[in-house]
Amino acid sequence: MYRAPLRELRFVLEELLGTGTLSAYPAFADYSDELGASILEEAGRFASDVLAPLNHTGDVEGAHWSPEGVRSPTGFKEAYRRYAEGGWPQLGADPRFGGQRAPQAVSGAVQEIIAAANLAFKLCPMLTHGAAHALELCGSDAQQRLFLPKMISGEWTGTMVLTEPAAGSDLGLIRARATPEGDHYRLFGQKIFITWGEHDFTDNILHMVLARIDGAPAGTRGISMFIVPKVLVAPDGSLAQRNEVRCMSIEHKLGIHASPTCVMEFGHDRGAVGYLVGQPNHGLENMFVMMNTARLAVGVEGYAVGERAFQQAAEYARTRLQGKPPAGRGPGPAPIVEHPDVRRMLLTMKSCTEASRALAFYAGTQLDLGAHHSDANARTAALERGELLIPIVKGWCTETGNETAAIGIQIHGGMGFVEETGAAQYLRDVRITTIYEGTTGIQSNDLIGRKLGRDQGAAMRALVTDMRRELRMLEAPVPAAGQVRDAALRAVEQLEHATHALLTGMAENPAHGFAVSVPYLKLCGLVGGGWLLAKSAAIAARGLGGEDRAFYAAKIRTALFYATHVLPAATGLAQVVEAGASSVLETGVECI
């Protein structure tokens, strides 16, 4: 059974990141650590009592398609009703339309809890939040008044509608078209891989659709964004007639079976009515508003499923009797958690999850500072850092989540390979997170092509400088904390050298960087996680004399394990970044 790691979440929010200090900014004036703790406690209770019990049954039953629509697995519709009634869609949304502002790290913590309990369920409100955020920033006043209150209340849901059969990651190939008609457009085209594109949770679904207005330029310059309701909405907000939007089928997938992945048709006769969001031919820019929100959320999903896999593996290891460890005492078999290699695997799962969580929440906090800091220069610097970290969080945290779920199966042994234990579902479910919102390769290309490229690495150098400065200032009241600090400092130096080599190579040949972009992204995540765990160990060392000494002691031991077993991989990744491009670029496709 899943239990939200509330103490760990509060440690990251309150002690490591100090999110309570955000209350100094008007947007978060009502926020406090006490309020955050209350939110997390309620989220944990809802996740454990309502969502987690549906995770396995939803996986087995799956979503059901018929020509009349899609029916969610047993219990999911009722769970969504309770989710909406509990006010969870309002968290982090615009207060002008019924939302409740909260630090992004706090919203991320709630997203972690929901995703760990039931990833398939969580995808629906996550996409709604992204669609609402796009309307908040890009929609007209009339669109915001008409659609946002129902989305933020949870009465309606939203989707992202990008992919087509011939246009996957290359959105410039989109063929869906939009014909002007009065104050709206008529859309025609087919879209695929639309998560929760049709369901029975709500009476209406608002699709954020990318299409090309008749006569628009070719490629990405000619893409516009439209809001296309499943059911048309009257000016007073009431539902009118059904729009020409229908789900043609749902996919049969490796995992997240309870989440319908839909083939959607827009305009089988006169065309689906859609409303232009923002300016014509600027749809890709608007969609990136949604996509950045979604990329951060998917990064959280990746390590959240890893947290769930860790909890189950740890419980199994404590109760599974098998063999006798080298230093075992007494007759008979021992719990496998006593075996050194099993303990090593569990610590790998635990430490990588904690590092991922810290990095994701840190990125969210930077985005908040980028939006709300009182100093303009500080806002700019924080926003640039948050944007720099988004592809790292999305790519590294999801890759790490996949590795963690795989280790969970290994700990279960043969029982992990059969579905009855549930360990296999976590691996099947988390696999999509490295693909959602752009594969890891796309994230790494964004990291080096856009984020490093826009300022020739200035934001990354600033981050490296801050990491080094903070690590050097850390006090180490216990030797283990000092070991973690020193290991993190060495890794930061390796990241700095690798970054310099990458930028130098790209200046001579841009393809150089793209040949090693994924190893570089992983290096950034690995080192960023080590930096934050070193800070965590120093904080924990100061708390060893209090009532929470067992928790703090575990924090130090976990950070030390990361420093000695996980962080050394930075050496190999740095070597790949510095010297590995030529072996890719000089190998012809005929050799593959």
Q: Check pLDDT > 90 for residue 285.
A: no
Tokens, residue 34: 């006490």
Which residue, among 126, 154, 114, 259, has the nearest Cα to 196 in the 3D structure?
A: 259
pLDDT-derived band at 368, boundaries 50, 70, 90: very high
What pLDDT score was predicted for residue 14? 98
The dihedral sign for the CA sequence 139, 145, 148, 151: negative
The dihedral sign for the CA sequence 25, 26, 27, 33: positive
Domain 6-153 has CATH 3.30.930.10: no
pLDDT-derived band at 450, boundaries 50, 70, 90: very high
Identify the weakest region by mean pLDDT among 34-43, 168-177, 281-290: 281-290
Residue 322 C-beta-side C-alpha neighbours within 13 Å: 14
CA distance 147 to 133: 12
pLDDT-derived band at 293, boundaries 50, 70, 90: confident
What mean pLDDT comes out for the span 503-527? 96
What pLDDT score was predicted for residue 329? 65
Q: Check pLDDT > 80 for residue 290.
A: no
Tens of pLDDT, residues 306-348: 999 999 999 999 999 998 888 766 778 999 999 999 999 999 9
What pLDDT score was predicted for residue 331? 78
Residue 437 is among the residues annotated as catalytic for this protein: yes
Q: Check pLDDT > 70 for residue 109.
A: yes
Q: Check pLDDT > 80 for residue 289.
A: no
The pTM of this model reads: 0.97
Tokens, residue 343: 């303990």
The dihedral sign for the CA sequence 274, 432, 127, 444: negative
Higher pLDDT pick, 109 / 169: 109
Catalytic residue (choose from 399, 437, 496, 578): 437
Q: Check pLDDT > 90 for residue 491.
A: yes
User: CATH top-level class for 157-281?
Assistant: mainly beta
Average of per-residue pLDDT values in the chain: 96
What mean pLDDT comes out for the span 277-304? 91
What pLDDT score was predicted for residue 112? 98
What pLDDT score was predicted for residue 328? 63
pLDDT-derived band at 275, boundaries 50, 70, 90: very high
Tokens, residue 578: 């510095």
Q: Domain spans of the chain?
A: 6-153, 157-281, 452-585
Tens of pLDDT, residues 204-257: 999 999 999 999 999 999 999 999 999 999 999 999 999 999 999 999 999 999
CA distance 340 to 323: 12
Tens of pLDDT, residues 193-219: 999 999 999 999 999 999 999 999 999
What pLDDT score was predicted for residue 168? 85
Q: How far is CA 7 from CA 109, 113, 307, 313, 363, in A?
A: 12, 13, 14, 20, 20
Determine contact, residues 227/208, Cβ cutoff 8 Å: yes
pLDDT-derived band at 167, boundaries 50, 70, 90: confident
